[in-house]
Structure 1
Amino acid sequence: MGERMRKEWPGDLDPKLNYSKGQKPLHEYLRDNARMNPEKVAIIWYGREITYKELDDLSEGFATYLSKSGVKKGENVALFLSNSPQYFIAHYGIQKIGAVVGPCSPLFKEWELEYQLNDMQAKVIVAVDSVYDVIAKVQSKTKIEQIILTSYSDFLPEKPTLNVPEEFSQPKPVISGVRDMLTVIKSVEALNSVVEIDMEDVSLLIYTSGTTGKPKGAMLTYKNTLFKAAAVSQSSSIMAEDVLLTVVPLYHIAGMLLGVNCPIYANASIVLLYRFDPIAVLQAIDLYKCTWWYSVAPMNIAVMQVKNAGVYDFSSLKTCRATSFGITLNQEIAQKWAEFTGGCGLCEGAYGLSETHTADTFMPSKAVKWGTQGIPNYETKIKIIDPETGKERPSGEMGEIVISNPGVFKGYWNKPEETTQTLSNGWVNTGDMGILDEDNYLTFCGRFKEMIKVSGYSVFPEEVEAMLIRYEGIVQVAVTGISDAQKGEVVKVYVVVKPDQRANITAEKIIEWAKQKMAPYKVPRLVEFRESLPATGAGKVLRRLLKDE
């Protein structure tokens, strides 16, 4: 199960990974679920119930439309959506015709979106209507030919059962020159798309830092996706009778795995929330008898702090897997959660990265070891190596984490050199530091790479620097991350300005400018002015020296 075999595989789990419906794309699992259990509820969206048949039919209609409008197998289609039923419809509709899903963060501002659309060479974008202005500003600078819009309110019931986000009450805008998602689905006669798909074909292009530099598109295959859905469903005991509460962003690799793929693989039901709202979480667990929740630790704290939370019934909730972002999940928090919920287990979710479709480890529910990220998941090998020599280090010694399993990506889109730096003979050099103990539990210790994690969001120094250098008067800039008790890390920038601009440029002005130009989690928290920045002889800024200071 791992490069070092654990003393014993958890006794409550089958030591062999089994694929419940065979090794085929997950959209075929969706089709099977719709055929075998057509009236079973797949998604509950603020009270609106969408059955497996309806979800399959809608994604089939969208697949048919895309195909008729000229989208070919292997082409990248951008998704500019947050949590919604439409995300599922688009995701599986795109993959049903062999095209590639390319998620873009809905928090992106124009420069960020322009970069990713151009890098993935997308001709079609599926987006929520509230971000149309961002698309309109960059469309002429990209290859986008077709914009398909939708509204988060399109699937809301007349009488919602959960707290509805205020932004859903905004009237639906009338925009010319674009297509409406539900309208185009209704405009075609849905056909089961017959596209020959190899499990090694790319199905997902998820953007990540790799080890250094600007965001890169990690190419994940149908096989990668199915393997991780099967492995996580089996190791985390996600079953058909489960009702999963989905709150974390679906466009993140962890949210996609646990919020989109695992429930469909397991033929489970999903209570889907647009974003985290502690009241809505309490309502959902009580009303829909949720059994399984993937959260981040601050969410659990916030739920427990809700006034009169005790009036809600938590007896259905059996499992909660969480990730430590901002707040470290420990035994004390888990004990409080168990008392608060009447016995629900809470433990660390997993360690993983986009290049492996995440969840390379899992925490055995009956053998929790606090402070670690658990043991290698099914068919996963993990080694700790000396980053300089590549030699494997023994148990208890820190080094670079390297991983091999059937979830490992094919490489970075159009970046062969960066692929070679990260991927070698099926092993991913993560750039992360870690320790494996004698029982094969992994402890994540920090990052070799310079990526910054702000509340779980990845921030790439070179990308933020490329935007800040456009500020009039700045001649040199460097970005690093600094520790923060609430967010894990925040962005700090070091700037050198033109001598004649020193009196006009302030930290406050730079931060306010950044708020208008980039996603909130990338906005600098601190600005430090310097006369010069440390650099190599070739002129490359040495962020490491700044961070060490």
Structure 2
Amino acid sequence: MPYVHHRFWPKGLPHAIRIPQVSLTHYLEVAAARFPDKPAIVFGGNALTYARLRERVDALAGYLRECVGVQPGDRVLLLSQNCPQFTTAYYGIMRAGAVVVPVNAMSTTAELRYFIDNSGARVAICAQELLSQLQPLVADESGLASVLVYAYSDALAARDEDNDDGERDALPEVVRAPREALTATGLVDFEAALARGLAPPSSLPAADDLCVLPYTSGTTGNPKGCMHTHATMLASSVASQLWRGFHAESVFLAVAPLFHMLGMQNAMNLPITLGATVVMMPRWNPALAARLIERHRVSVWAAAPAMLIDFFAMPDAQQRDLHSLAVLSGGGAAMPESVAAMLQTRFGIVYNEAYGLTETASFLHANPLLRAKRQCLGVPTQSVESRVVDPVTLEELPPGELGELVTHGPQVMRGYWRDPGADRAAFFERDGKRFFRTGDLVAVDEDGYFFMRDRLKRMINASGYKVWPAEVENAMYGHPAVHEACVIGVADPRAGETVKALIVLKPEFHGQVSEQQIIDWSREHMAVYKAPRIVEFLERLPKSGTGKILWRELQDAHRNVPSR
């Protein structure tokens, strides 16, 4: 019996896919053989070809094996902003048969110590600008013995005064900074290590070998490592490229951090499986992004809604030729209706909202390109089965009822790293299948599309009424003065909890609109129990490295502030 959503399935796309029984590194070998002179990565005006990328990956793998003693299954920490060296390091670690531990570039020394202790990493690869955060852990009780260090500037094109378009100068100073001498014990120059040209291991990793250990954000406690194999990563990547019609001539913009699944999968692993070109940015710069899209005819861009809101509100977005953009995709938060409508009306682009987690290697649900619904998680993609269950009993609920999204698919991680307790809480067996509990509250409509209502523990209970912050936030973006919004629950002596909205105003509305006016507008546009009772204006909202608003941090800070 076909699922309801199969009525809107992309034509010609199978409902299930076979997962390639090879490693991610296999695809780099193939791309280098097929397109040796093709740019794999464009960065700061310089192009790194597939042949050269493969050479560097092989040399790093040889060095890790022969000079640092990295063995198959060992974990290697990777700490960096986006740059070609990140890709070299990522694939070099895997080519050596080891496991990449990608960590947030904003991690503190204490956080890095946790990742090292928990993963058991003895070797790290680090960008020069972040070495001060990592160096205190070298050769101390953390067990970190060696750190390979690179400077971003080594990947930049040499300055050409006769043909200088300013692309290099638009990069942050820290990216243009020259390589510094390394004198401390345990530090190794990355470029010097590659220059030795040591041969990689003769055998490639197997599909079921562990290859990457990304850590969850830790919003419910200490971060947990998610065990992904080459097969789970490829399941997500291959499904995404088929769903969205990507090909070897697609040009991808890499802006989302590569240490996070959104960037790692959509702007690094997926393009390499295709042999496509990536135009890479080290940090978010909307004006530079517009120039790069126009110059390099970028056709694919995966980004969080907050990033796209900033980009398309910028004057350059109206002045540049952006017609090459064919697919904008992302997730993590719903795209506000007003922005989605603007993209379609002004640029002819339908934002392809999708849904995934670190635990599912990113791509899990997506909207069909020709039958999308806005503010929607879409439908389960190829080989994925998702259900809505009662969070307490885990019994499946009928369509339309609110419950927890649980899922079964080939991209689901093998489990949490050395945490059997977390595995028992996250997985359960049903009908002979292993389902993962996402912790997200959803409802399914009559067409089989999934709609996010919120995280399981983010619900606000106001006088017995359940309020879902994501729903309120989406509505508030309809106010012309609202640039960003985060809705949280705060203590209320009468209602138990009440709704509070933290708002960043658009610059032209500063001093022109009051908190009370926002409250009054909200009561006109949503049920009174949903409308914020408190509004506070902020200059900015804290965000993760991937652009997600840190609602829990805000909620913790405002939880006990007396209501007015």
Tell me if both proteins adopt one fold, taking TM over 0.5 as the criterion.
Answer: yes
Alpha-carbon separation, structure 2, partners of 1:28 and 1:391 = 41
2-side partners of 1:269 and 1:19: how far apart? 25
The one-letter code of the counterpart of 1:380 is V
* Cross-structure match for 2:191: 182
Alpha-carbon distance in 2 for matches of 1:319, 1:169: 31
* Aligned match of 1:360: 364
Question: What is the Cα deviation at residue 95 of structure 1?
Answer: 0.7
Q: CA deviation at 1:435?
A: 1.1
CA contact (8 A) 2:26 2:204 kept: no
Aligned residue in 1 for 2:145: 145
**Which deviations, in whole Å up to 9, do the C-alpha atoms of 1:408-441 show, x marking residues without a partner?**
1111111111111112342101111111222221
1:125 Cα deviation from its structure 2 partner: 0.5
> Could you say what secondary structure the match of 2:341 adopts?
helix
Match of 2:180 among 163, 173, 178: 173
| Contact 1:322/1:347 (8 A) holds in 2 | yes
1:346 paired residue number: 351
Q: What is the SS of the residue equivalent to 1:141?
A: coil
4+ long deviations beyond 6 Å: 520-523, 526-529, 545-549
Q: Report the 3-state secondary structure (helix = DSSP H, G, I; strand = E; otherwise coil) of the residue aligned with 1:125.
A: strand
C-alpha separation in 1, matches of 2:350 and 2:552 = 36
Tell me, yes or no, if the aligned pair for 2:28 and 2:273 is still in contact at 8 Å. Answer: yes
Tell me, yes or no, if structure 1 residue 333 matches structure 2 residue 339.
yes
How much has 1:54 moved relative to structure 2? 1.0
| AA at the equivalent of 2:167 | T
Aligned pair count? 469
- Structure 1 contact 38–52 (Cα < 8 Å) conserved: yes
1:281 aligns with 2:300: no
Paired letter, 1:355: E
Determine if contact 1:376/1:440 at 8 Å carries over to the other structure.
no
Task: Give the structure 1 partner of residue 42 of structure 2.
Answer: 44
Shift of 1:266: 1.6
Q: Partner of 1:198 in structure 2?
A: 206
Deviation at 1:81, TM superposition (A): 1.0
Q: Which residue of 2 aligns with 1:35?
A: 33
Moved more, 420-429 or 58-67: 420-429
Matched residue SS, 2:315 = coil
**Aligned ranges for residues 97-246 of structure 1 at < 5 Å?**
97-139=96-138, 140-159=140-159, 161=167, 163-176=170-183, 177=185, 178-189=187-198, 191-195=199-203, 197-208=205-216, 212-246=220-254
How far is 1:301 from its partner? 2.5
Conserved 8 A contact 2:219-2:552: no
Secondary structure class of the residue paired with 2:107: coil
Query: What letter is aligned with 1:110?
Result: T
TM-score, reference length from structure 1: 0.79
Contact 1:13 1:235 in 2 (8 A): no
Per-residue CA shift, 1:472-502, capped at 9, x if unaligned? xxxxxxxxx9864469xxxxxxxxxxxxxxx
Return 5+ residue gaps in structure 2 as ranges. Answer: 160-165, 460-469, 471-498, 506-548
Q: Which residue of 2 aligns with 1:10?
A: 9
String of CA shifts for 1:492-546, please: whole Å, max 9, x gaps.
Answer: xxxxxxxxxxxxxxxxxxxxxxxxxxxx9699658879xxxxxxxxxxxxx9x99
Does structure 1 retain, via aligned residues, the 8 Å contact 2:137–2:144? Answer: no
1: CA distance, partners of 2:269 / 2:12: 21
Q: 1:467 maps to which residue?
A: none
User: What is the deviation of 1:239?
Assistant: 1.1
Per-residue CA distance 1:80-125 (angstroms, 9 max, x = gap) = 1111101110111111121000011110111111111111011001
Q: Is the 8 Å Cα contact of residues 211 and 449 (structure 1) preserved in structure 2?
A: no
485 and 204 in structure 1: CA distance in 2 versus 1, 3 angstrom threshold? farther
Q: 2:264 aligns with which of 253, 256, 269?
A: 256
SS in 2 for 1:207: coil
Q: Structure 1: which 5+ residue stretches go unaligned? A: 456-480, 488-519, 530-542
> Cα–Cα, structure 1 residues 265 and 298, in superposed 2: closer, same or farther, change >3 Å?
same
CA contact under 8 A between 2:352 and 2:366: conserved in structure 1? no
Deviates more, 1:422-431 or 1:193-202: 193-202
> Structure 2 vs 1, CA of residues 448 and 524 (structure 1 numbering), >3 Å: closer, same or farther?
closer
SS at match of 2:7: coil
CA contact (8 A) 2:254 2:301 kept: yes
Of stretches 308-317 and 85-94 in structure 1, the one that deviates more from structure 2 is: 308-317
- Partner SS, residue 132 of structure 2: helix
Structure 1 residue aligned with 2:453, among 435, 439, 445?
445
The residue identity in structure 2 corresponding to 1:179 is V
User: Aligned pair in 2 of structure 1 residues 129, 482: CA closer, same or farther (>3 Å)?
Assistant: farther
Q: Match of 1:133, SS?
A: helix
Q: Does the Cα contact within 8 Å between 1:382 and 1:403 map onto a contact in 2?
A: yes
What's the CA shift for 1:144?
0.3
Residues 19 and 230 of structure 1 are in contact (CA less than 8 Å); yes or no, is this contact kept in structure 2?
Answer: no
> Per-residue CA shift, 1:309-352, capped at 9, x if unaligned?
44321121111113364xx41343123224443x233232x111
Counterpart Cα distance in 2 of 1:548 and 1:24: 57
Amino acid at match of 1:143: G
Alignment partners' CA distance in 2, 1:546 and 1:435? 32
Decide whether aligned partners of structure 1 residues 430 and 526 sit closer, same or farther in structure 2, where only a CA change above 3 A counts. closer
Counterpart position of 2:65:
67
Aligned mates of 1:547, 1:196 — CA distance in 2: 60
Q: Could you say what secondary structure the match of 1:15 adopts?
A: coil
The one-character-per-residue Cα deviations of 1:23-73 (angstroms, maximum 9, x if unpaired) are 311110110110111111111002111111111111111111111121000
TM normalised by structure 2 equals 0.77
What is the CA–CA distance in structure 1 between the aligned matches of 2:8 and 2:345, rounded to whole Å?
29
How far apart are the structure 1 equivalents of 2:247 and 2:18? 13
Kindly indicate whether the alpha-carbon contact (under 8 Å) linking 1:212 and 1:449 is maintained by their aligned counterparts in 2: no
Percent identical: 28
Cα RMSD (Å): 3.0
Aligned residue in 2 for 1:403: 407
Residue aligning to 1:419: 423
* Preserved contact between residue 23 and residue 204 of structure 2 (Cα < 8 Å): no
CA distance in structure 2 between the aligned counterparts of 1:30 and 1:188, rounded to whole angstroms: 18
Q: Distance in 1 between matches of 2:551 and 2:192?
A: 36
Are residues 8 and 195 of structure 1, via their aligned partners in 2, closer, same or farther at CA, if it must alter by over 3 Å? same
**Whole-Å Cα distance in 1 between the matches of residues 27 and 126 of structure 2?**
25
Q: CA 1:305–1:389 in 2, change beyond 3 Å: closer, same or farther? A: closer
* Equivalent pair of 1:352/1:361 in contact (CA under 8 Å): yes
- Cα 1:217–1:183 change in 2 (3 A) is same
CA contact (8 A) 2:39 2:50 kept: yes
Secondary structure of residue in 1 paired with 2:65: helix
Q: Look up the SS of the partner of 2:41 in the other structure.
A: strand
Note the C-alpha offset of 1:196: 5.6
Name the stretch that deviates more: 100-109 or 168-177. 168-177
- Could you say if the C-alpha distance between residues 301 and 322 of structure 1 is closer, same or farther in structure 2, counting changes exceeding 3 Å? same
The farther-off stretch of 154-163 and 279-288 is: 154-163
